[in-house]
Chains A and B, each alone.
Chain A
Amino acid sequence: MIWLDTLIQGLMLGGLYALFAAGLSLVFGIMRLVNLAHGDLIVLGAYLILGIGTATGLNPFLAAALALPPMFALGWLLQTALLNRVLGEDILPPLLVTFGLSVVIQNALLMGFSADSRKLPVGPVEAQSLPLGPVNLGVMPLVTFVSAVAVIFGLNQLFYRTALGRAFRATSDDPVTAQLMGIRPDRVFAVATSIALVVATIAALYLGARANFDPATGPARLLYAFEAVIIGGLGSLWGTLAGGLVIGLAQAFGAALNPEWQILAGHLAFVAVLLVRPRGLFPRAND
């Protein structure tokens, strides 16, 4: 029975990792930009939710809803003022700039909030669980998992069912020809990063509700997110969900064998998948 419990815990944890990774996957899929500050932007979102909650007295779920518009705006600003200037044939400048951004965000958070770890107070729901046959399922992990599936589903609908989604894919395929269709790649990229930061804010809610966070939490989240994106296949959103689940399951089973093996097991699963499927589980056909 412990294995069934571990399986469920792993799946739920994988949902959280998929949320970390979804924004990263979206941005990479559209503009081939690896945003090394993605984890720090999630942590920034968590502090924003905490700040709004503290200032207004709202619970973190409502505070997160209020945090979505400013994070969308931040994404727009970040892309138009900074990232659009460094995107090009050479992949190194965006890597350096987002690495620098990561350092800037961490230090700004350190100055503003100190190195103390914080947590989002979600209230009694944190301890609630549902009996599911022989095991109990925590409400918060379940909500996290359902949110992850909903976010990935929503992004997929956006990608494959809307004019904006067609513009995303066309710009990703061929930005020059996309301009001949009246598409402005810089604006398409700005919308994409804005949406990625909205997803990052949702991830931030569940990150802060599940565990403590501090200004230095970001890079480790980035690593899990990056592994999830690579396992799933670059540019595939459902693949990213699958990648998150693989890491979550590996960590849960690793921890069940020996608590010290949790993190290592996730990384080993990453390496194992790449050994068998170097392009990930669901690579895009035309990459």
Chain B
Amino acid sequence: MSALLQLTALTAHYGDFQALFGVDLTLDAGQTLAIIGANGAGKTTLMRAITGIARVTGGSVVLDGQRLDRMAASDILRAGVAMVPEGRRLFPSLTVEENLRIGAYARQGGGFWTLPRIYDLFPVLRDRRNHPGTALSGGQQQMVAIGRALMSNPRVLLCDELSLGLAPVVIREIYAAFPAIRASGTAIVVVEQDIGQALKVADQVHCMMEGRITLSGAPASLGRAAIHDAYFGVRQA
């Protein structure tokens, strides 16, 4: 299977501060990949670098043969990479339905994900379609943010900290949508601090620390102790 998204020796900076140090990552078509790590490990920066929001200062991001790392964020979305940003970041001036529709702003032609299909995925949003997006509960806002990203019919969906600030029952509800998203052919990258959740949904797990990937593997092949060490930076014996 050829790689859909390939990151090679990716570095990123915020001003003089280097946040990513030569990250290599491969995402295959249809795959779900989880990136775990503590606060400040560089997970969000990695997502922002892929989507063109953070400045890439070295290495490359290639989507199906197309270099993304020199493109504007708006063009990267058009190329097929959508993100559910940390903190949801719904547009307060827009209703739930308008928030969903704006996800399709750059879409040309059809695709699997349409407004009715998003409402089928998250039925609770159908009743709230005319409410301001930011008037919803945290979990419902997260559903809008996922639906909004899906409306562009991305080839790769990046989800940054979906479970942040949500109750466990709500987190389960949100992750219950993943099989349908995978079935639509979209490859997924989830960034999570909730290791248990990440291990449940992912085919591959990468652990990050201080801007580097310190551990990679299939969830079943990684021991709890190894993940613990990679996550907290304890030297392995």
Q: In the complex, what residues of A have CB within 8 A of residue B52's CB?
A: 179
Q: In the complex, what residues of B have CB within 8 A of residue A163's CB?
A: 101-102, 105
Interface string of A137-160 (1 = CB under 8 A from B): 000000000000000000000000
Interchain CA distance A176-B77 in the complex, whole Å: 13
Interchain CA distance A163-B104 in the complex, whole Å: 9
B91 within 8 A of A: yes
Interchain CA distance A172-B94 in the complex, whole Å: 11
Interchain CA distance A183-B152 in the complex, whole Å: 12
A164, closest chain B residue (CB) = B105
Partner of B102, one of A166, A172, A176, A184: A166
B193 within 8 A of A: no
Interchain CA distance A181-B85 in the complex, whole Å: 11
Q: In the complex, what residues of B have CB within 8 A of residue A179's CB?
A: 52-53, 72-74, 77
B83 & A166 in contact (Cβ 8 Å cutoff): no
Residues B73-102 near A (CB distance < 8 A): 73-74, 77-78, 82-83, 85, 89, 91-94, 98, 101-102
A180 within 8 A of B: yes
B51 within 8 A of A: yes
Interchain CA distance A181-B83 in the complex, whole Å: 9
A177 & B91 in contact (Cβ 8 Å cutoff): yes
Partner of A173, one of B74, B83, B94: B94
B43 within 8 A of A: no
B102 & A180 in contact (Cβ 8 Å cutoff): no
Name which of B91, B98, B103, B152 has the most chain A CB atoms within 10 A of its CB.
B91
B152 & A177 in contact (Cβ 8 Å cutoff): no
A166 & B89 in contact (Cβ 8 Å cutoff): no
Interchain CA distance A164-B105 in the complex, whole Å: 9
Q: Given A166-B102, A167-B102, does the pair A180, B82 have CB atoms closer than 8 Å?
A: yes
Q: In the complex, what residues of B have CB within 8 A of residue A183's CB?
A: 74, 102, 105-106
Total interface residues on A, CB under 8 Å, equals 19
Give min CB distance, B207 to chain A, whole Å: 26
A174 within 8 A of B: yes
A160, closest chain B residue (CB) = B98
B102 & A181 in contact (Cβ 8 Å cutoff): yes
Give min CB distance, B68 to chain A, whole Å: 13
B85 & A169 in contact (Cβ 8 Å cutoff): no
A180, closest chain B residue (CB) = B83
A182 within 8 A of B: yes
Interchain CA distance A167-B98 in the complex, whole Å: 10
B148 within 8 A of A: yes
Give min CB distance, B99 to chain A, whole Å: 8
B77 & A182 in contact (Cβ 8 Å cutoff): yes
Name which of A176, A180, A286 has the most chain B CB atoms within 10 A of its CB.
A180
Interchain CA distance A286-B132 in the complex, whole Å: 11
Interchain CA distance A163-B149 in the complex, whole Å: 16
Which 7 residue pairs spanning A and B have beta carbons closest together? A182-B106, A179-B73, A182-B77, A169-B93, A286-B92, A173-B91, A177-B89
A-binding residues in B (CB < 8 A): 51-53, 72-74, 77-78, 82-83, 85, 89, 91-94, 98, 101-103, 105-107, 134, 148-149, 152
B-binding residues in A (CB < 8 A): 163, 166-167, 169-170, 172-174, 176-184, 284, 286
A-B contact pairs, 25 of them (CB 8 A): A163-B101, A163-B102, A166-B101, A167-B105, A170-B91, A170-B93, A170-B102, A176-B53, A178-B91, A179-B52, A179-B74, A180-B51, A180-B53, A180-B77, A180-B83, A181-B74, A181-B103, A181-B106, A181-B148, A182-B74, A182-B107, A182-B152, A183-B102, A284-B93, A286-B92
Beyond A179-B73, A181-B74, A181-B102, 10 additional contacts (C-beta under 8 Å) are: A163-B101, A173-B91, A177-B89, A177-B91, A179-B74, A180-B73, A180-B77, A180-B149, A182-B78, A183-B106
